[in-house]
């Protein structure tokens, strides 16, 4: 079936649904989208910070609606879908961002927690994507953005259930994109793959460790992921990775799978824990109840990268390629001109008009 033309609206004309909007990547995306003029439907489990964030945005003159929603519950996602359409009439971009995790070995993480991770991280993406597709089929199309992870390509110790869920997100996103292409639906589907990001992610995760968890370096700013999401909302693209480490891990896994497993086993476990003993008191239990106070960044990161060269390349690779071709063309023309001038100079040097001399023939007899 012929693919319908995908018409992507500018952000100032978009209605955007964002799940997991009360912290980290979701909150950073909401703030940037609101500043760009988008009308927002914000979803999360935690009512108090969710409504406070929506109120802050409205006080700044933005349009924002808060909807309490557990994305692992299909009925609640259908309610989110209906609320978005009833409030604004359509949905242009739907961002499936909500996610949870647990630190520990497979033997230590209870199966109930592993199932809960899949309910949110995988089934939440499925519920949101299907809801978005229903709405977008009835209108002129739209954009579905699913937030995966660098761990969509490479599993690591101590976060195996999370990595498995993100692998499933990648497979589902690729399959959804192909099905929509097959039926000709004008819907763009993008997978975002962040590496370690400066968010409260580890503070919200369950942790079955004796030491405090941490993000493996290098750590990137959450605003970079928000930038990637908003780029996907206005530019048709398959995948955007945030952080060069994402590409390096993927390449290593494909080119040297055995070495990649060995490095992962020896290195990535230690990179995820600090030397600080983990305290008790029921901390890090965001799997079964909402936690967090509505903040974008983690307060304990020592150094955070504010720029991703690899993301910049992905966003502007066409312009960069055209620019390089143009530069190569100009260099070729300049070289041709230099050669032409050099030839002219040599020609004028060896063909100057000479004073004619009369030579007498020497008589040989």
Contact between residue 186 and residue 92 where contact means Cβ atoms under 8 Å apart: no
Contact between residue 22 and residue 292 where contact means Cβ atoms under 8 Å apart: yes
Give the side-chain half-sphere CA count within 13 A for 157.
18
CA angle 26, 77, 116 (to 5 degrees): 75
Bridge partners (DSSP) of residue 43 are 19, 67
Q: Are strands 273-277 and 211-213 parallel, antiparallel or unpaired?
A: antiparallel
Dist CA 124 CA 166 (whole Å):
12
* Among 205, 202, 197, 187, CA closest to 221: 197
Active-site residue (options: 162, 201, 220, 303) = 162
* Among 212, 112, 96, CA closest to 158: 212
Instruction: Answer yes or no: 201 catalytic.
Output: no
- State both tokens at 42: 């914000």
Bridge partners (DSSP) of residue 95 are 18, 145
Q: Which residues are known catalytic residues?
A: 162
């Amino acid at each position: 079936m012929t693919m319908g033309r995908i018409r992507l609206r500018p952000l100032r004309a978009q209605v955007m649904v964002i799940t997991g909007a009360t912290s980290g990547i979701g909150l950073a995306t909401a703030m940037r989208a609101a500043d760009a003029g988008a009308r927002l439907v914000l979803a999360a489990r935690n009512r108090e910070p969710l409504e406070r964030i929506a109120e802050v945005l409205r006080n700044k003159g933005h349009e924002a609606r808060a909807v309490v929603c557990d994305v692992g519950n299909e009925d609640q996602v259908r309610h989110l879908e209906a609320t978005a359409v009833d409030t604004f009439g359509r949905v242009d971009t739907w961002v499936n961002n909500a996610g949870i995790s647990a630190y520990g070995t497979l033997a230590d993480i209870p199966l109930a927690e592993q199932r809960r991770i899949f309910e949110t991280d995988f089934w939440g993406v499925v519920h949101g994507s299907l809801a978005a597709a229903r709405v977008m089929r009835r209108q002129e199309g739209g954009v579905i953005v699913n937030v995966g992870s660098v761990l969509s390509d490479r599993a690591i110790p101590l976060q195996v259930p999370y990595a498995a869920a993100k692998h499933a997100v990648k497979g589902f996103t690729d399959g959804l994109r192909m099905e929509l292409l097959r039926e000709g639906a004008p819907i763009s589907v993008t997978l975002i793959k962040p590496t370690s990001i400066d968010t409260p992610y580890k503070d919200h995760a369950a942790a079955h460790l004796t030491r405090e968890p941490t993000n493996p370096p290098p750590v990137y700013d959450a605003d970079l992921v928000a930038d990637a999401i908003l780029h996907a909302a206005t530019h048709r693209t398959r995948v955007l990775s945030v952080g060069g480490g994402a590409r390096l891990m993927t390449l290593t896994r494909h080119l040297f799978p055995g070495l990649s497993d060995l490095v992962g086993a020896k290195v990535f476990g230690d990179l995820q824990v600090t030397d600080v003993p983990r305290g008790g008191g029921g901390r890090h239990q965001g799997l079964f109840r909402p936690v967090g106070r509505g903040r974008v960044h983690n307060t304990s990161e020592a150094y955070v990268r504010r720029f991703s060269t690899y993301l910049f390349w992905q966003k502007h690779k066409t312009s960069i390629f055209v620019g390089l071709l143009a530069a190569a063309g100009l260099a070729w023309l300049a070289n041709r001109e230099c050669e032409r001038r050099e030839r002219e100079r040599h020609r004028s040097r060896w063909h100057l008009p000479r004073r004619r001399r009369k030579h007498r023939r020497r008589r040989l007899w």
